[in-house]
Each structure stands twice: as structure tokens, then as C-alpha cells.
Amino acid sequence: MVRGAEMSKRDALPRSVRVFAPASVSNLGCGFDIFGMALERPGDEVVVRAAIGTGIVSVTVTGDLGRVPTDPARNAAALAVEGVLARLGSAASVAIEVHKGIPMASGLGGSAASAVAGAVAADALLGGDLDRTALLECAMIGERKGSGANHADNAAPSLIGGFVLVLPGAPPKMVPLPTPDDLVVAVAHPHMEVETRQAREILGDTIPLMAGVRQWGNAAGMVAGLLQGDWELIARCMCDAVAEPVRARLVPGFEQVKAAALDAGAEAAGLSGSGPSVLALCRGRPAAERVAAAMARAFRDAAGVNSDTVVSGAHAGGARILEIE
Ligand code: HSE
């Protein structure tokens, strides 16, 4: 039986909520699984609607050429929504629409964005007020299905925006970090795919001690550089001693594209997440536009591959509710 107060709360609940969650670049060289930054675009949208039935009654997907699974047990947004229902102890029934704006297997945090948008939309639909950490944990359930691992370096910036250090653990901890005012990110997304799961499997489980020393030195230096607005430190530390050297072979033309970014004036460049996208940190938008064009040219010349480019400020916001009905 529904008591009076619960009844009026339930009556006031919306019928559907639409949420946008942005793409993100992650790792940023030295921060494997712990650094990520939101982009202004592209992004995914997820609509969660109240439905009649039990649990998640349907998942539909657009913008993916039919490739994203619509089975709720394999869909990142649906898994995140299910996480929200479980957290809220809700027996509600919902239908989910996912509108993909982020290319698949691009290294731009597409499954994380769908999962974040699903979690935020479900929470708003059900009148829950899960805090950011709880929403992140729900999104991570969806992300885990795709990559096979527990990492929140895309989901965290997609949720809260900006540059985020996310400390693994239960619960994970999001630490927003400042960026220099003139920081602009240039991204080249070549028209090829790298599955995160595969790009993680080839890394194995162990790293040489000295690679660890370089990596944690650079990660600490990156945090200090961001806090101090010290471009020299940021550029020096955006360097990956662990994953990029192994993964570079998955991205034809990667070394040439990185070199082209630096030649065109980027302060630093490297793989975005597990690739194949390449990101470059630049000072100012004109420099970032030049660097993005140079990276696209290099992908074409070195690998015969066309690319989309994105130029984005570093203060891009996170997930936002677009519509409540
Ligand atoms: N940190 C993750 C990885 C990001 O490098 O595997 C996946 O995009």
C-alpha cells in the first residue's frame, strides 16, 4: 500500500527525463585509469521513461549503426539504470532510449557517457537524490561491461566536467583539478576502432619497477603542474611509460600523428584512453585548431585514414538534464 506522502511524491514524478553526457579524453599520458577530462562535444543522450511492466522493459539505440547491444544485460546505459533502481530500492519499470553521438571504440569515453547519462536520467526520473559518488558507481557498472575492468577515468569527467583525478577504491573519489586558463584540447579521431577490452588485455598485469617510478613521478608532476598552472611541468609529465608504448601498435600512424601535433605547436600529445583517438594539449584555440588539422593530415598521410577532429576548452561541463516531462 502506498501511504499519502509517498503517493503525492510519486504523483509529482516526471514521466521522462532526457540527459546529455559529454565525451572525454582519459589517461592524459601518465594517469592510466585515474585522469580524465570532459570535452564540449560530442556526447550521448539518454532518455529514461516511466513504463508499465517490470524493471527495464526496453532499450532502443540510435546513431550506432545497429552495433550497441539492446539487451539490458549488455547495454552500458541500462546497466547503470539498473544500478540506480537497485540503490533506490525501486521496483519502477522504465524504457530507455540511447542516442549515440560518440563514435564507438574511439577512445572518447562513449560507453561511459551513455552509462552516466542513464544513471543521471534514472535518478531524476525516480526523484532520487543520489550523490555524485553513487551516480559514478552506478555508471561504472555500465562501463565495466564494455571494458571488462573497473575504471572511472571517463565516467568521472563525463559526470562532473572539467579535469578530474579519480582515485580507485570503494567508494571511488573524484578530485576536480584546475587547468591553465589557456588550455585547449585538440583531438583527432581516426576512422578506425580499438576495443578497450582488447587494448587492456595486451597490457598484462605487471610493469617494470622503473616504468612505475617514471609513471608515478609524472602523475604527481601533472597534479602539481595543474595546481600551479605550470605549462612546462604539465607538458613534461604528459608522458606514458606503461600503456602507450604497448598500445601504439594498435593505431597505425600513431607516432607520426603525435610528432605532427608537437611540430604544429602542441605542448604535449598522446593516446586518448585506449585509442585510437590522439589528444594534444595546446595553448589557445588557434593553436589547437592548427594542431587538430596537422594530426588529421598525418593520419591520412601515414595510415591512409580520415579523421574527425574536436577542439574543446578544458572547462567543459559534465552531464546535464536537457528535458523533464
Ligand atoms: N583508462 C582506460 C584505459 C580508458 O586506458 O584502458 C579507456 O578508454
Residue 11: predicted pLDDT: 57
Cα angle: 157, vertex 272, 214; to 5 degrees: 95
Distance 173 CA to ligand 1 centre (A): 17
The whole-number average pLDDT for the span 205-223 is 97
Q: Write down all domains in the chain, each with its CATH number in brackets.
A: 2-176+316-324 (3.30.230.10), 183-313 (3.30.70.890)
What are the pLDDT digits (tens) for 162-199?
999 999 999 999 999 999 999 999 999 999 999 999 99
Best probe residue, ligand 1, of 25, 104, 154 (max atoms within 8 Å of C-beta): 154
Nearest CA to ligand 1 atom 8: 273
What are the pocket residues of ligand 1 if the criterion is a CB atom closer than 6 Å to any ligand atom? Answer: 26-27, 32-33, 107, 147, 151, 153-154, 196, 199-200, 243, 273-274
Q: How far is CA 75 from CA 107, 198, 274, in A?
A: 18, 18, 20
The whole-number average pLDDT for the span 260-264 is 98
Decide: helix, strand or coil at residue 89: coil
> Which residues contact residue 55 at a Cβ distance below 8 angstroms, ignoring those fewer than 6 apart?
72, 82, 85, 93, 94
Distance linking the first and last C-alpha atoms of the chain? 26
Distance 154 CA to ligand 1 centre (A): 8
- Range with the poorest average pLDDT among 143-152, 203-212, 237-246: 143-152
For the chain, how long is the longest CA-to-CA vector?
69
Q: Percentage of the chain surpassing pLDDT 70?
A: 97
Is there a catalytic annotation at residue 133?
no
The whole-number average pLDDT for the span 265-294 is 98
Which one is catalytic: 45, 82, 97, 143? 143
Residue 66 · residue 60 · CB < 8 Å = no
Distance 71 CA to ligand 1 centre (A): 24
What are the pLDDT digits (tens) for 86-136?
999 999 999 999 999 999 989 999 999 999 999 999 999 999 899 999 999
Distance 10 CA to ligand 1 centre (A): 39
pLDDT exceeds 70 at position 9: no
Is there a catalytic annotation at residue 196?
yes
